Structure 1
């Protein structure tokens, strides 16, 4: 590999056309620049034709000049990447729970369409996998439903997400017997969510496990499909319900005081978050705030 300082001296010489001016620009002696060029010519053959009023590049010299300029561009890219100050280029990785992910993914695509130099990676995952992925530097940003207690993570509230009791569009729910009649559609977090919300709506109920079991799905985007077909009810986060395409086929039952989960934004605390990742997080926060305002 060629010595980068030699290449830098040659590139400056080729650009300014004078050993004296090149030495002055680089803060070196003219003898040092001449020595660097001799070392390169020992490796690559003749690079310059020296004239009284300047220098002329040989074909090998022109190729080396292109190489030197490529090194300078690579150096600038590296410094920009390390500084994380380029908001319009590079990759941003976000890993989230499925419910909020259904809402955020279209917003991420909108943002990428407006910033074509960015590459957006999004993955749905439970809290444990989110923590592991952010700590393992596979994703810059993550959202969790429980606030992590790890000194390696910077953590802050991102948004709130109420739980909702969702039934088929034609159903009414007045008491526990209505839920027994409709039947329950489960999902991986369903029983814990149902216990929290239904305990608020129906105090001293016999528990969600006592209800007729009518189905299960572990795909967040499909949990409401059996509800829409009249096969049962479920308890699900609001963002998952809002992302469901067949809104006319389901209805949300009022349960009094809401049961609300805070979603926490996490990233590694030991180094600055890249500007492009900060920009994505701020964009998503703003779009969610606009939605809340529009909903009243």
Structure 2
């Protein structure tokens, strides 16, 4: 590995184009600057062409200058990641299911506007990917719908999210025949969610798989668009419905019994959360109270 002090000297020399000014900037002697460049050239070949009034970088010198920039950027990233006590600066990473992710996203943007030094990295993913990402330290925080049992994780309740039967505004939905008339708008978790809710609301009927399918989408933000246009009904989590941009075009068909999922917050148990992650959670939690 190349000596970091040599790299600092070379980058400063390339910036200033003068051995004397470089030595003054770095509080070194000119002999030390020349020695650092010599050590690099012993490893990498000729880096500089010395002319009376200027220095010219060779192709190897240009490549080394790019490397110096990459090392500097990597050092900044490392310092940012290690500054766990800094509330206002650095990255906060979280990975969540798409439903709550839609609602989380706008709150995360509000937090980032209030704390411009924060960089928030948010990914939508299914439970299995969330769990793996947190265990592998690719994300500091995760949310899942199935509570994991793993000694490497701290797991706490974050929110409750009911499943909802959502139909076009104005449609009367009281019976199984009404569902058959409307038809089902499916999505990747649609059959499982509809099966759980409809089997309780309409016991004795054949189940969601027997309903006519009027459409399918794997984009959670688009599931309710065909519902809003009167093309069918769907079953999905509350936070996906709350994030839909046309609330006047849809209605929640209330009924009992309710089916409510718990959303579980995950992070690694072996080390504490960064202060900035705790700040983000503290700002988020009032919007996702467990008794909502």
TM-score w.r.t. the length of structure 1 is: 0.72
Structure 1 segment 43-58 matched on structure 2, within 5 A: none
Question: How far apart are 1:287 and its partner, in Å?
Answer: 2.7
Q: 1:220 to 1:76 in 2, by over 3 A?
A: closer
Structure 1 segment 35-114 matched on structure 2, within 5 A: 62-65=24-27, 81-82=81-82, 84-114=84-114
The 1-side partners of 2:220 and 2:76 are apart by 43
Q: Indicate if the aligned counterparts of 1:201 and 1:255 stay in contact, CA closer than 8 A.
A: yes
Structure 1 segment 15-30 matched on structure 2, within 5 A: none
Structure 1 segment 1-296 matched on structure 2, within 5 A: 1=3, 62-65=24-27, 81-82=81-82, 84-289=84-289, 292=292
Q: In structure 1, what is the equivalent of residue 45 of structure 2?
A: none
DSSP-derived class of the 2:138 partner: coil
Structure 2 gap segments, 5+ residues each: 6-19, 29-74
Q: 1:232 to 1:79 in 2, by over 3 A?
A: closer
Q: Indicate if the aligned counterparts of 2:130 and 2:144 stay in contact, CA closer than 8 A.
A: yes
Paired residues in the alignment total: 231
The 2-side partners of 1:115 and 1:65 are apart by 37
Aligned-residue Cα RMSD (Å) equals 2.5
Structure 1 gap segments, 5+ residues each: 4-57, 67-74
Q: Indicate if the aligned counterparts of 1:200 and 1:255 stay in contact, CA closer than 8 A.
A: no
Listed one character per residue, the Cα deviations across residues 153-202 of structure 1 (whole Å, up to 9, x for unaligned) are 11110000000000111211111111011101111111111111111211
Q: Indicate if the aligned counterparts of 1:141 and 1:265 stay in contact, CA closer than 8 A.
A: yes
Q: Indicate if the aligned counterparts of 1:197 and 1:255 stay in contact, CA closer than 8 A.
A: no
Which 4+ runs in 1 deviate beyond 4 A? 58-62, 75-81
TM-score w.r.t. the length of structure 2 is: 0.73
Q: 1:65 to 1:268 in 2, by over 3 A?
A: farther
Question: How far apart are 1:81 and its partner, in Å?
Answer: 4.9
